[in-house]
């Protein structure tokens, strides 16, 4: 068996721990947390905002390290940091302590273990099948969401939200052993090639300009900003709805268990979306997958606006989940195609701060609108406008590998490590 498949398994577990325990659990437990601290919907949103600050602001620092150093060591330290964060959340006695634990430990640990590190690990082991490999690895996000979103609410009803976070910390510690004994940073360390190709086949050398000044070359590339814009808008929609869905369910008159069940349904359909959009990204025009993601967002948000019963709420959650699941695998596929696997960590890391304002602002504005109007209707309408913006940007993306501005004027080709993609190929054509 190609050893890269084991890396998909490790990435699956890392995504499950970081997204399931870090994001889905916080959203599912948000009604209990706001009640415990006497907080408003906006104040509850600030916890998710601080978490994302730690997540994305640490990404530019960790991205280059993941490209140059041992991914195993970084992921091991990240898992320890993440577990510490969950223990500190359980011990929090004020909103300030909660925010610090979420931002400095849970957010940074998630970047070093899951969102950035796990995606970079998979991208090092796969090129032709990167979209599908990332999609399968990120099934861990959806699988944990299915179990954790409803399971956290049920567990909190038995042992309280503090006890629930203690359980999450203990489970995360088991990830340390898995990572430290299994992860191999690159296939070349075992004498292998990405995708299990013949080790004897010579690989193209990296473009020397990217090697000398990779950050400047990436930031000058038009593709960098177009991809970052698409992702920022999609993450704004995803994060805002996933965070506030349990509170929306409560305002419709349902209990915390119903909110958790709706969030689990979002995660279940997101699982299908990851496979679907990863497959689309590897085989068709690169613009098609992100456009389909945003169309699913639009349909789900429209369904939330008219849903006033339990079946309607669940149906809207299912439709929206199909879009939610596609964002991360499509992001990874677009970045890998544009910048190559040796610059994957740096490119995704640099995009973190670019996506940050919309990611943070979307969740906060959604909570503020809900507090001011007494419902989420207006918030869902403005999120529909955000999804339309993502469709517009996706239609502008060519899907071609980005070229350094000083070497080409938009018409040359750029050779990345392991493969070359000519700009003469059609937009979004599969590389290789």
Q: What is the pLDDT of residue 419?
A: 35
Q: What is the pLDDT of residue 95?
A: 92
Residue 126 structure tokens: 């796969």
* Integer Cα distance of 32 and 264 in angstroms: 17
Q: What is the pLDDT of residue 425?
A: 28
pTM of the entire predicted model: 0.66
Q: What is the pLDDT of residue 164?
A: 94
Q: What is the pLDDT of residue 201?
A: 56
Give mean pLDDT in consecutive 10-residue pieces for the chain, a chain of 432 residues. 90 90 86 88 83 85 87 94 95 93 94 89 86 82 78 88 94 87 90 77 45 64 87 89 86 81 84 75 71 90 90 91 82 78 80 78 84 88 92 74 37 34 29 30
Q: What is the pLDDT of residue 210?
A: 39
Name the architecture of domain 4-186+206-421.
Up-down Bundle (1.20)
415 forms beta bridges with: 420
Q: Which residue ranges make up each domain of the chain?
A: 4-186+206-421
Q: What is the pLDDT of residue 426?
A: 30
420 forms beta bridges with: 415
* Integer Cα distance of 318 and 293 in angstroms: 13
Query: Which residue in 89, 3, 88, 102 sits closest to 58, CA to CA?
Result: 102
Q: What angle do CA 275, 278, 279 make, to 5 degrees?
A: 85
- pLDDT tens digits along 174-229: 888 888 889 999 898 888 888 877 666 555 444 433 344 457 777 888 888 888 89
Q: How many CA atoms lie within 13 A of 125 on its CB side?
A: 27
For the chain, what is the largest distance between any 2 Cα atoms, rounded to a whole number of angstroms?
Answer: 64
- Note whether 349 and 63 are within 8 A (CB): yes
Q: What is the pLDDT of residue 286?
A: 64
């Amino acid at each position: 068996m190609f050893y890269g498949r084991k890396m998909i398994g490790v990435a699956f577990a890392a995504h499950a721990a970081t997204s399931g325990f870090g994001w889905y659990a916080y959203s599912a437990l948000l009604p209990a947390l706001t009640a415990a601290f006497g907080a408003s919907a906006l104040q509850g949103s600030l916890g998710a905002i601080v978490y994302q600050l730690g997540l994305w602001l640490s990404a530019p620092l960790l991205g280059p390290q993941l490209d140059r150093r041992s991914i195993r060591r970084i992921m091991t330290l990240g898992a320890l940091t993440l577990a510490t964060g969950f223990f500190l959340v359980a011990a929090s006695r004020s909103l300030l302590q909660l925010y610090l634990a979420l931002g400095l430990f849970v957010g940074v640990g998630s970047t070093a273990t899951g969102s950035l590190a796990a995606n970079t690990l998979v991208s090092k082991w796969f090129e032709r099948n990167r979209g599908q490999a990332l999609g399968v690895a990120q099934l861990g996000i959806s699988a944990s969401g299915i179990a954790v979103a409803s399971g956290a609410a049920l567990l909190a009803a038995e042992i309280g939200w503090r006890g629930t976070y203690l359980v999450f910390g203990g489970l995360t510690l088991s990830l340390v052993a898995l990572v430290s004994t299994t992860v191999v940073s690159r296939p070349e360390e075992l004498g292998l090639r990405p995708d299990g190709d013949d080790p004897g086949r010579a690989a193209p050398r990296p473009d020397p300009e990217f090697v000398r000044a990779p950050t400047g070359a990436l930031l000058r590339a038009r593709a960098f900003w177009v991809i970052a814009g698409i992702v920022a808008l999609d993450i704004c929609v995803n994060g805002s709805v996933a965070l506030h869905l349990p509170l929306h369910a409560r305002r419709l008159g349902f209990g915390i268990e119903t909110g958790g069940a709706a969030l689990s349904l979002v995660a279940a359909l997101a699982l299908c979306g990851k496979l679907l959009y990863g497959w689309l990204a590897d085989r068709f025009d690169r613009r098609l997958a992100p456009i389909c993601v945003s169309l699913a967002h639009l349909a789900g948000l429209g369904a939330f606006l008219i849903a006033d019963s339990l079946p309607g709420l669940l149906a809207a959650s299912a439709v929206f989940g199909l879009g939610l699941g596609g964002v991360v695998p499509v992001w990874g596929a677009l970045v890998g195609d544009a910048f190559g696997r040796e610059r994957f960590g740096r490119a995704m890391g640099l995009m973190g701060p670019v996506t940050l304002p919309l990611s943070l602002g979307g969740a906060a504005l959604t909570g503020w609108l809900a507090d001011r109007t007494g419902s989420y209707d207006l918030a869902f309408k403005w999120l529909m406008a955000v999804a339309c913006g993502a469709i517009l940007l996706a239609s502008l993306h060519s899907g071609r590998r980005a070229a350094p501005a000083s070497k080409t004027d938009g018409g040359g080709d750029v050779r990345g490590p392991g493969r070359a993609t000519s700009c003469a190929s059609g937009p979004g054509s599969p590389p290789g």
